Structure 1
Amino acid sequence: MKSTRLFKKTLLAVTVSSLSLASYQVSAAGFQLNAQSATGLGRAFAGDAVIADNASVMARNAAAMSLFDTHQFSGGLNVISSEINVKDIGGAGAPPNGLQEPNATNKADSPVPNIYYVHRLNDQWALGAGIYSNFGTNNEFDSSFGDTNLAKVFGGTTKIESINYALAASYRLNEQWSFGAGLDIISGAGELKRETSPGTPGFGQTTALNVDASGIGLGFNLGTVFELNQNNRFGLAYHYSPEIEADGTVFADAGIALGDPNFSGVNAVAGDKLKLALPSMLEFSGYHMIQDTKFAVHYSLQWIGWSVFDQLETTGGTVLKDYEWKDGYHAAIGGTYYLNDAWTLRAGYMYDTAAQDQLTSISVPDSDRQWFSAGVGYSFEKHHTVDFGFTYLMGKDVAVTETSGPLTLTATTKANAILAGIQYSYSF
């Protein structure tokens, strides 16, 4: 009986830790989503801080709005189809026979829309407004994994949506230099559910935790563009991300706590706001049109400051979990072939590094990733363009070990995804 109670308390403690991470994911997931446009998706976002083929460039570098000669509108939809595999699930410390569980696979489809408008005031000034998303996730380990599968219990359901409302301005100093700045209002909402397994001895309830959380933060961005000549230009952009205080509503079934007056982990989370430190980003891009050809090469290098997320704590000073994440980066290279006045072909490759370092979790299957991308654009009636983008995102196997109290969980996780998008743009 003592071992069973320890297992239940440990399971609830792990669930609370998952809550803290998922609340953080309301504004920034454990992995970064690049889904600001289908145009960028088709080249693995290589050169996106300086190419400026439609209004979506303001999401990467406000200064690049100065490259347009007319007003610009762009709107689109990217769909992310993810697959998370959890295998080799095992461990020790849980009755009756430790943890030996079947493999689990979680598949989810998430739509990510975007819309932008750039208004050219005169030869020097341009203003922009946009709505898009930088972060999000949709993970659900449901009952199809079996009554006693701990992937369902530890992973549960995590649905995160974030929206970035952006206002920006650019100024062209001369033929070579342009500068830009913008304001980012980040709004997020998330749903988290964790369940006990009805088949686990001693568990009389199904719902362990049901959480809704939301928060708003204010950030900013700065950028510049340098045009060496008509065929060669460079862009540099910095995005400051804020620390958000998020309100959370927590439901915890009294049967899970077993009436233990000394165990108040859930109440500590429910009573405070969560302090969520988001990563800032610095990106450098280049674009080079090869002379006397129809081909251009472009590239990007982005730094993401995930090390600010060292631990998650409440406004009351309660430390919920240590994460010790590390700074990440992505490096991308791509090519564009201007087939004729109507058709444009794109391709790109990105290597994207994980935020997790020594501490890992099955609830956040993070790893280094490779992006393989291709896209096509079609222009018609001089002012209209439709772009399509496709990416296969391939992760790596990650060995996971989680320990809490008497329970040690081991597993191997891998996350892959397919991203597909469509973008419509109009210049006037």
Structure 2
Amino acid sequence: MNKKRLFIRSAVAIAVAASSTSALAAGFQLNAQSATGIGRAFAGDAVIADNASVMARNPAAMALFDEKAFSIGFESITTQIEVKDAEYCGTVCNLTPEQFRNPTSVENTDDVGGTSIAPNVHFILPINEKFAVGFNAYSNFGTKTEFSGDYAATEYGGLTDVKSFNFGVAGSYRLNDQWSFGAGLDIIYGEGTMKRTAGDQVLGIKGQDLLNVDGATGTAIGFNVGTVFELNENNRFGLSYRYSPEFEAKDDKGQKITLPLPDIAEFSGFHKIEDTKFAVHYSVQYIGWGAFDQIKFDNLQDSVLTGSYNKPYEWQDGWHYAIGGTYYLNNDWTLRAGYMYDTSAQDQKTSISVPDSDRQWLSSGVTYHIDQKSTIDFGITYLMGKEVSVTESTPSPVGNFNLSSVTATTQANAILMGLQYSRSF
């Protein structure tokens, strides 16, 4: 390999590392198991067990059902991402002494996000008073952002589209009146597309594909375990753990993406206040983003970068803290609301591609009881992120300068809505 090719390959490896992979942060974990969960900010969702979707959060909670239960629904996720006050500095700009630099102002954009639909289905079958089994399908992880093709800092934008679907089977065992245990197996199917192009101000490679992995697919195996403790009929606690594997996906050209998924642990409580129509519930969830140490690209083709490279990360573990309330208005209507504080997975390294920050969730929802066996649920959440100052750069592999850099202020909000039908029989 000649020196020019080595320079270009090294430069592009750094450029892609600085842009594309960090786009997997804010929307990477989805809470898309149920409309009831959306309506209470998922507070208490590992133990409430008001429909079959609880098995997605805690398999032991299937022991709380004494008849067959079925739920089907979908969630819409609309992201509102703003990138403003951006200044882009190309190769010539970065070679200029700092006091004389003249960065290019980049037009503000607020159309990076979009709307995605995540379906879910759950079924619980009690075998007898001790055992129950269940089957479900839903999405646990996913994100999509797309910048316009004429965005000035295009090597920091581009297209990122990652989605997964979880197919699960689980079983539960009731030990006694207080304790129940459960375990499940997860088959995870995923798809990934990542495209990046060098900007016009990146000397030597402008306009060329830095990365073009299109429609990579793959499967992986995970598992989950849990327990439920029932103090009495109005007070119970749930604890669950989900193991998520390292995931590999390949496209039609043989290009491969490998990324580790985070393990998740959750503790939930549910307390119905005696002689009232009101219940309070809460959850604390741990997400092991600290294990997301690197993403690997192998067999890269049809771009300036070929072969393989690894991108290290400096992510931190995340936490969700949620509290909610349910009001059993009458035989026809149940009302709920919730609040969640959700901490960022990103730490020192940030990105304009999918901005990440600590977030607050404001949620409300309603259940309409069609009859004693059937319900319709609706939930809505407004998710508010913070403004974050972002600085990204692409250092040159030779010499003490950057091939390009960008500074900006970003903010990401979202609206989540869910609709669900549930039936027991």
Name the residue aligned to 2:108: 103
Name the residue aligned to 2:128: 122
Counterparts of residues 308-319 of structure 1 (less than 5 Å): 308-313=291-296, 319=309
TM superposition shift of 1:95: 3.6
Does the Cα contact within 8 Å between 1:148 and 1:200 map onto a contact in 2? no
The question of 1:388 aligning with 2:371 is answered no
TM superposition shift of 1:129: 0.4
- Alignment partners' CA distance in 2, 1:306 and 1:208: 26
Tell me the alpha carbon deviations over residues 363-393 of structure 1, each in whole angstroms, 9 at most, x when there is no partner: 2311111000000001122111000000000
2:276 alignment partner AA: T
Distance 1:180 1:67, change over 3 A: same
Distance 1:8 1:149, change over 3 A: farther
The question of 1:89 aligning with 2:94 is answered no
2:109 alignment partner AA: A
TM superposition shift of 1:356: 0.5
- Alignment partners' CA distance in 2, 1:125 and 1:241: 25
Tell me the alpha carbon deviations over residues 375-421 of structure 1, each in whole angstroms, 9 at most, x when there is no partner: 00011221110000000000011111112221222111111000111
The question of 1:185 aligning with 2:187 is answered yes
The question of 1:328 aligning with 2:318 is answered yes
Give 3-state SS (helix, strand or coil) of 1:15's partner. helix
- Alignment partners' CA distance in 2, 1:58 and 1:36: 9
Does the Cα contact within 8 Å between 1:54 and 1:72 map onto a contact in 2? yes
Distance 1:374 1:148, change over 3 A: closer
Q: 2:355 aligns with which of 354, 362, 365?
A: 365
Counterparts of residues 10-409 of structure 1 (less than 5 Å): 10=11, 13-15=14-16, 18-20=19-21, 25=24, 31-95=28-92, 97-105=102-110, 106-143=112-149, 147=150, 149-150=152-153, 152-196=154-198, 205=207, 209-212=211-214, 213-248=216-251, 273-313=256-296, 319-405=309-395, 406=402, 407-409=404-406
2:54 alignment partner AA: V
Give 3-state SS (helix, strand or coil) of 1:107's partner. coil
2:318 alignment partner AA: G
Tell me the alpha carbon deviations over residues 115-148 of structure 1, each in whole angstroms, 9 at most, x when there is no partner: 01101111111100000001111211124xxx35
- Alignment partners' CA distance in 2, 1:314 and 1:204: 22
C-alpha RMSD of the superposition:
2.6
TM-score, normalization: structure 1? 0.86
TM superposition shift of 1:204: 7.3
User: Which sits farther off after the overlay, 197-206 or 277-286?
Assistant: 197-206
TM superposition shift of 1:196: 4.9
Tell me the alpha carbon deviations over residues 259-317 of structure 1, each in whole angstroms, 9 at most, x when there is no partner: xxxxxxxxxxx76x443211101100000000110000000000111101122235799
Name the residue aligned to 1:412: 409
Q: Which runs of 5+ in 2 are unaligned?
A: 1-6, 94-101, 300-306, 396-401
TM superposition shift of 1:193: 2.6
The alignment of Structure 1 onto Structure 2 pairs a total of residues equal to 396
Does the Cα contact within 8 Å between 2:289 and 2:345 map onto a contact in 1? yes
Does the Cα contact within 8 Å between 1:285 and 1:298 map onto a contact in 2? yes
- Alignment partners' CA distance in 2, 1:403 and 1:318: 21
Name the residue aligned to 1:264: none
Does the Cα contact within 8 Å between 2:283 and 2:322 map onto a contact in 1? yes
Distance 1:375 1:34, change over 3 A: same
Q: Which runs of 5+ in 1 are unaligned?
A: 1-5, 251-269
TM-score, normalization: structure 2? 0.86
What is the percentage of aligned positions where both structures have the same residue?
57
